[in-house]
Amino acid sequence: MRKAKTATASAAAVAVAYEPEIAAEGEDFLNQATQEDIAARAYQLWQERGCPEGSPEVDWLAAEAELLG
């Protein structure tokens, strides 16, 4: 059972922004549901950091580490 998302439309926008980076790094082992969870968490982390511009990989990698261990 998946946990509820707190940011829906914004998380989808983040997912689109992050997916090319994931594909470029060859991390195709992540399924779409997991990418969506990571994108939602990355968005939350980005908001917690005050929504700074640039370096989206910081939040993506932190969310990935948090969710995938």
Tell me what pLDDT residue 17 has: 56
Whether residue 68 is contained in a domain is answered as: yes
Number of domains in the chain: 1
Whether residue 9 is contained in a domain is answered as: no
Whether residue 11 is contained in a domain is answered as: no
Q: What is the DSSP letter of 3?
A: P
Q: Are 9 and 48 in contact (CB under 8 A)?
A: no
Tell me what pLDDT residue 11 has: 47
The mean pLDDT of the chain is 73
Cα 19 to chain centroid, rounded:
9
Query: In Å, what is the CA distance from 2 to each residue of 28, 31, 37, 46?
Result: 20, 14, 9, 22
User: What is the domain extent for residue 52?
Assistant: 30-69
Tell me what pLDDT residue 1 has: 44
Tell me what pLDDT residue 28 has: 56
pLDDT tens, position by position, 21-48: 555 555 555 556 699 999 999 999 999 9
